[in-house]
Amino acid sequence: MRKVGVAILGLGVVGGGTYKVLTEHREFYKSTQKVDISVECVLEPRKERLLELGIDENIICSSIAEVCSNPDVEIVVEVMGGVEPAKEYVLAALRNGKSVVTSNKELYCKYGYELEETAKKHNCGIFYEATCVGGVPVIRTLLDNLQGNEISSLMGIINGTTNYILTKMTSDGMSYDDALAEAQALGYAEKNPEADVEGFDAVYKLSILSSLAFHTKIPYEKIYREGIKDVCPIDIQYGRQLGYVMKLLAIAKNTSSGVEVRVHPTFISGSHPLAAVGDNFNAVYITGDSIGDTMLYGLGAGEFPTASAVVGDIIYCATHDNYNYSPFSNTQVAGAVRISDNFRSSYYIRVEAEDRSGVLSKIASAFSRQSISVARVVQDDVSKGSVPMILVTHPTNENSVRKAVEEINESSLGSRVVSIIRVAG
Ligand code: HSE
C-alpha cells in the first residue's frame, strides 16, 4: 500500500481538526483509498495545544527546515493563516518538492500565482479547497466539474459570521451589537470581527472564486466592498415587507461591459434559494451556460467542516500525480481584465422626505433625468415632519443612481437619501 507522510503547520482550530480527522480515519482511508496517510510531523509552538491534542513528542518539529528535510513528509499542510511566515514556509516546502495543502485564503488570494509557478517548477501540487467556504466543495467543482461551462455569474453567502448576524437581525429583530456579541459567544465571530464584518474575508474568497469562474485573475484590490456595520435594522424590516431578505452577498458577473465583482449588503427575493441560507451557513450559486443554475450549500468554517476540505485535498494529492493547476489565463498582468464598477442592478432607496405636496414628483424627476425607471414606491405612515419613502428601481446602472441621489441630496427639496441597497436576483 502506498504510504504518504503529512506535516501540519499550525494546530489551531483547523490544524487540530485536520490532525483528528486524519488520525481517526487512518484505517478507513487505507481501506477506501488504498493509501496509508500518517502525520509525520507538526510545527506548533504552543505546548499546551500539543498536550491537548495528545501529540506524540517524536513528531514535534521546531523549524520549517526540519519539516522540509524530513524524507517521510510528502505533503505539507499549511493551516496557520496570515501572510508571513506562512508564505515563506509554503515556498520552502514547494522548493523542496513537497506538495502543499493550504486553507490560507489571504495567502492564496495575494500570492496564488507565485505559489503555483513554484509548485509547477518543482513538479508538485498546491491545493486550496479550504481557502473558500470551508467544507463546501466549491474550488474543485469550479476547477473540474464545471469546466465545460462558460460561467456568467457566481453569487454567494461566503462569510458565516455576517450571515449569522444578519439572520439574527432579520428573524429576531436583534440589534447589530447584540447579534455580533451572540456570534462571538458562539465562537462564530472573532474577538476582533473587522475582517468578517467589514467584508475583507469575503473579498479574499471572491477574488479566488471569480478568478476560477472566469479563467482570469481578479485582483482582490479591485473588488468593491461594503461591510454590514452600517446596515439599519429598519431597512431589514422594510425590505421584508417588500418580500426581500438581506444578505452580505459576494457577486461576480461576467458582462459585456466587463467583470463586476462586489461584496455588499444586498436584498434578494425571499423566493431565491440563497434567501433560505440562514445562521452561519454558506452557499454559492453559480450560473453556467450548460448547467444553468446550481447551488452548493454547507458550513463555511469550523474545526471539522474546514478539516473536511483540507483532508479531501490531502487524499486527492496522495492519490494523484498529475497535479491540477488553476486555469487562470491572464496571470498577474495589470489591467488585463476589464473590471466594471458601473454595476447593473435594481436598487432599494430609502429617502427621508418632507410630507408635502410636490416632493414625490421632484424625487421622481431626479430619477427620471437619469433614465431610471421606478418599479415601486412605498411611503410609510409616520408623521414627524418627515416620512420614510422607499423606492425600488427597475434594473439600472450604479452611476445613474449615484447621480440621482446626489441631485436629491443637494437640492432644497427637504429630502435626503439615507439608505441605498442593491437588489439582486
Ligand atoms: N470567518 C469566516 C466566516 C470563516 O465567518 O465565514 C473563515 O473564512
Q: What is the pLDDT along the chain (425 residues), one digit of tens a residue?
A: 999 999 999 999 999 999 999 999 999 999 999 999 999 999 999 999 999 999 999 999 999 999 999 999 999 999 999 999 999 999 999 999 999 999 999 999 999 989 999 999 999 999 999 999 999 999 999 999 999 999 999 999 999 999 999 999 999 999 999 999 999 999 999 999 999 999 999 999 999 999 999 988 899 999 999 999 999 999 999 999 999 999 999 999 999 999 999 999 999 999 999 999 999 999 999 999 999 999 999 999 999 999 999 999 999 999 998 887 776 655 555 557 889 999 999 999 999 988 788 888 889 999 999 999 999 999 877 656 778 999 999 999 999 999 999 999 998 777 899 999 999 97
Please give the DSSP secondary-structure letter assigned to residue 339.
B
Spacing, Cα 224 to ligand 1 middle (Å)? 19
Q: How large is the C-alpha radius of gyration of the chain? A: 24
Spacing, Cα 402 to ligand 1 middle (Å)? 31
Distance CA 28, CA 30 (A): 5
Check if 160 has its Cβ closer than 6 Å to any atom of ligand 1.
yes
Nearest residue to 156 (alpha-carbon basis) of 255, 269, 251: 251
Task: Classify the C-alpha dihedral 175-180-185-191 as positive or negative.
Answer: negative
Contacts 24+ apart (CB under 8 A), 370-373: 370/396, 370/400, 370/401, 370/403, 370/404, 371/396, 371/400, 372/396, 372/400, 372/401, 372/404
Spacing, Cα 370 to ligand 1 middle (Å)? 39
Check if 248 has its Cβ closer than 6 Å to any atom of ligand 1.
no
Other Cβ atoms closer than 10 A to 284: 28
- What residue owns the CA closest to ligand 1's atom 2? 159
Spacing, Cα 344 to ligand 1 middle (Å)? 28
C-alpha cell of 263? 461584496
Strand, coil or helix: 251: strand
Distances (CA, A) of 140 to 62, 98, 241, 286, 300: 33, 21, 39, 14, 15
Check if 303 has its Cβ closer than 6 Å to any atom of ligand 1.
no
Spacing, Cα 406 to ligand 1 middle (Å)? 35
Check if 196 has its Cβ closer than 6 Å to any atom of ligand 1.
yes
- Phi/psi of residue 333, nearest 5 degrees: -65, 120
Burial class (CB within 10 angstroms; exposed 0-12, middle 13-18, buried 19+) of 48: exposed
C-alpha cell of 83? 501572510
Is-contact 179 164, C-beta < 8 A?
Answer: yes
Check if 104 has its Cβ closer than 6 Å to any atom of ligand 1.
no
Mutational pocket test of ligand 1: of 105, 161, 197, the residue with most ligand atoms within 8 Å of the beta carbon: 161
Is-contact 135 298, C-beta < 8 A?
Answer: yes
Beta bridge partners of 6: 39, 75
Mutational pocket test of ligand 1: of 107, 132, 159, the residue with most ligand atoms within 8 Å of the beta carbon: 159
Catalytic residues, which ones? Answer: 205
Where would I find the beta strands (DSSP E) of 44-202? Answer: 60-61, 75-78, 99-102, 126-127, 151-157
Check if 301 has its Cβ closer than 6 Å to any atom of ligand 1.
yes
